[in-house]
Amino acid sequence: MCIGNAKCEPRHKTVVRSDLHSQSVSLLSISMDGRPIYTWHGRSATAWRWLSVCFGQSIYAWGSTLSIRIFSHYLHLPIVLLAVADWVVLFLALYLANALLPYFDPDESHWRPALVFSTLSFIALLSLGVYRSSQRFLFTGSLLRAFAGILLGGAGSALVFYLAPSWSIDRIHLLLGGALALVGTALLRGIFYRVIDEDLFKRNVLVYGSGVRAASIAQLRRRSDQRGFHLHGYVRAEGDQEVAHAEQILSINGSLIDYALANSIDEIIVAVDDRRQDFPIKDLLDCRLQGIEIVELVSFLEREAGKVALNVLNPSWLILSGGFRKSLWVKFAGRTLDLITSFLIILLTWPLMLLCIITILIEDGPGSTVIYRQRRVGLEGKLFDLLKFRSMREDAETDGGARWATVNDSRVTRVGSLIRRLRLDELPQVFNVLKGDMSFVGPRPERPEFVSRLNETIPYYRERHCVKPGITGWAQLCYPYGSSQKDALEKLQFDLYYVKNHNLTFDLMILLQTAEVIFLGKGAR
């Protein structure tokens, strides 16, 4: 195998041949003896390869990775296609309902009610977590959530039509549109999950390395974690211990580029333990020039898992990679979102706040404490008082020691158990947001006692405080409630991903998906 410093002559070269008379273009791989060989790599990459010839290499690069980065956040192409197809189906469902029923006037603006219905239903689907790349539910779960989203979208549309009569339609049209939308989304999901099972949208990935760093890829065991790639195997690097699964470690005879092209490799992940050893720069460069993506391990895990993997992280990656934007526009947009959202939450939930106050006073007596203030660590390590509805006994920490809440914690009151499950105890924190101590989206603030301990034991824990803490966050969506140092380590990886990639669009997506956490009670204790 010609890897490392060994001199290997390339056995073929790739050229583009254009026939002006027939207006055809073909991509050939020509061996050194002149015989043409058609070599395409990637089951799904074939169509993109043709597009790259016709429209440029950037089209191929986008298609071969099968992930889209929108405002610094990675989205898998199949999820994006499903979301776009859902919106189209929702729009056509109500528009066709108007066309199928009597009294259809083609001159009227029937697209307006269809636009309202499709947009509100799409927002509801997004809020219920239908388009989360880490979703574990399969066809049935996705279908049930889609049905719930369409019902919520229909209810919201009815309210809009009531408030704006010029856009309204008959009730029977809305019911028929909802029924067509249910059928359409069911058929769409049947096709979608059948296609996903066929690996049409997955990249064929080869890992260069078989040691400790490479073994971290094996931790992506869930089907949702492997939505974007198929692991072809591991190539042993010089100096690596064989920590990865032995049956997946490959024996390659020949050059790396020949093997990659022959086995339809779309992407090579560099995961060697020690790059000072015989690092195959020339072989990887040959692969890159052939259109095969070369990705660093941390970047791969960031894209696929939505987190910064601390066990394989190098400080240089944090310094040289993109993200960590703190422009004036980012700060202005974030503060504007915080203020608008806070006023809306207060306007919509003040009856619930009043009900929480009354029930706490009824359970514990008129003189009991309702609002609980607790010191937390905020932006740049500054301390502030976090506001919450009291959900524990007033003597919960009489021993003076800070403790994490646990499952079925005996310190929680009956009213406290209910408002914790419904997340109502967090409502007073909107006043922390208005004051500027917190943002609506960000890492959850921790107590100083925990922070000082975690700063000493967990690397990069201080870096999570370079943005404002939030009421909700990326870690809350991706990881259940944590009550240990191990949980803090896991959540930190998602917090660092947010710190690195946060922007207005990402914040809006997190806010919408937080509804799933609230309605389904995920992570509440």
- Per residue of the chain (525 residues), give pLDDT as tens: 445 444 444 434 433 333 333 333 333 333 333 333 333 334 444 444 444 444 343 333 344 445 666 656 667 677 788 889 999 999 999 988 887 776 555 555 678 889 999 999 999 888 887 887 655 555 677 788 888 889 999 999 999 988 888 777 888 888 999 999 999 999 988 887 776 655 666 789 999 998 888 888 888 876 667 777 889 999 988 877 777 777 788 888 889 999 999 999 999 999 998 877 778 899 999 999 999 999 999 999 998 888 999 989 988 898 888 888 888 888 898 999 999 999 999 999 999 999 999 999 999 888 889 999 999 999 999 999 999 999 988 877 766 566 777 667 778 889 988 998 888 999 999 999 999 999 999 999 999 999 999 999 999 999 999 999 999 999 988 887 777 888 899 999 999 999 999 888 889 889 888 877 776 656 554
The token pair at 314 is: 């190098």
Residues of 209-245 as b/e, b for ≥16 C-beta within 10 angstroms? bbbebbbbbeebeeebbbbbbebbbbbbbeebeebbe
Task: Show the 3-state SS of 481-501.
Answer: CCCCHHHHHHHHHHHHHHHHH
Nearest Cα to Cα of residue 130 among 153, 156, 111: 153
Give the DSSP letter of residue 228: T
What tokens were used for 190?
Answer: 């049947």
DSSP secondary structure string for all residues of 174-207: HHHHHHHHHHHHHHHHHHHHHHHHTTTT-EEEEE
Angle at alpha carbon of residue 250, lines to 27 and 200, rounded to 5°: 50
Backbone angles phi, psi at 450, to 5 degrees: -70, -40
What letter does residue 412 receive in the DSSP assignment?
A: B
Report helix angle 414-421 to 328-364, nearest 10: 150
Residue 194 is encoded by which pair of tokens?
A: 């059948």
Helix (H, G, I), strand (E, B) or coil at 386: strand
How far apart CA 271 and CA 294 sit, in angstroms, is: 11
Amino acid, res. 405? A
In 56-164, DSSP assigns E strands to: 67-70, 73-76
Which residue type, as a one-letter code, is found at position 227? R
| H-helix or E-strand spanning residue 54 | helix 45-55
Cα 127 to Cα 119: distance, rounded to the nearest angstrom: 12
Q: Which residue has the tokens 């070599």?
A: 39
